Structure 1
Amino acid sequence: MEFNIFFRAFKQEDAVFINSLRRDDEMESKIGGSRRFVALEREQKWVNDLIMNDNQSMVYLAVCEKGSDDIIGYTSISDIDYRNGTCFWSGIKITPEKSGRGYGLQVTLLALRYVFEELRMVRCIGMGLEEHHVALRLMEKAGFQKEGLMRKYVYKNGEHKNNWLLSIIDEDYVSLKLKYEL
Structure 2
Amino acid sequence: MIRGRRIQLRAVEEGDLPLLHRWANDAELWRNLGGWRFPSSLDSTRAWFAGLKSDAANHRWVIETLEEPQVIGTANLVNIDWKNGVAFHGMMLGPMDLRGKGYGRDTVMTVMRYAFDELGLWRLDGDIIEDNAASHALYVGKCGWREEGRQRGWHYRAGRRWDRILVGVTAEDYRPLESYWA
TM-score (norm 2): 0.90
Give the equivalent residue in structure 1 for 2:111.
Answer: 111
Q: What are the Cα deviations for residues 156-181 of structure 1, in whole angstroms up to 9, with x where unaligned? A: 33443211101101111111113x13
Partner SS, residue 164 of structure 1:
strand
Give the equivalent residue in structure 1 for 2:168.
Answer: 167
Distance 1:119 1:95 in 2: 30
Distance 1:105 1:33 in 2: 22
14, 36, 48: which one aligns with 2:16: 14
Does structure 1 retain, via aligned residues, the 8 Å contact 2:7–2:63?
yes
Give the equivalent residue in structure 2 for 1:29.
Answer: 31
Give the equivalent residue in structure 2 for 1:94.
Answer: 94
Distance 1:176 1:7 in 2: 20
1:1-182 alignment, distance < 5 Å: 3-50=5-52, 52-53=53-54, 55-66=55-66, 68-140=68-140, 141-178=142-179, 180-181=180-181
> How many angstroms does 1:67 deviate by?
5.1
Relative distance call for 1:7 and 1:129 in structure 2 (3 A) is same
Show structure 1 runs of 5+ residues with no match: none
Partner SS, residue 83 of structure 2:
coil
Does structure 1 retain, via aligned residues, the 8 Å contact 2:25–2:38?
no
Does structure 1 retain, via aligned residues, the 8 Å contact 2:93–2:104?
no
Distance 1:18 1:36 in 2: 14
What is the one-letter code of the residue matched to 1:106? D
> How many angstroms does 1:148 deviate by?
0.9
Show structure 2 runs of 5+ residues with no match: none
Q: Which moved more, 1:58-67 or 1:164-173?
A: 58-67
> How many angstroms does 1:68 deviate by?
5.0
- Superposed CA RMSD in Å reads 1.7
Partner SS, residue 30 of structure 1:
coil
- Percent of paired sites with the same residue: 25
Q: What are the Cα deviations for residues 6-50 of structure 1, in whole angstroms up to 9, with x where unaligned? A: 111110111111111122222111111111211111112212321
Partner SS, residue 136 of structure 2:
helix
> How many angstroms does 1:60 deviate by?
0.2
Does structure 2 retain, via aligned residues, the 8 Å contact 1:32–1:156?
no
TM-score (norm 1): 0.90
Distance 1:48 1:70 in 2: 23
> How many angstroms does 1:72 deviate by?
1.8
Count of matched residue positions in the alignment of Structure 1 and Structure 2: 178
Distance 2:86 2:118 in 1: 13
Distance 2:96 2:50 in 1: 25
Partner SS, residue 31 of structure 2:
helix
Does structure 1 retain, via aligned residues, the 8 Å contact 2:149–2:167?
yes
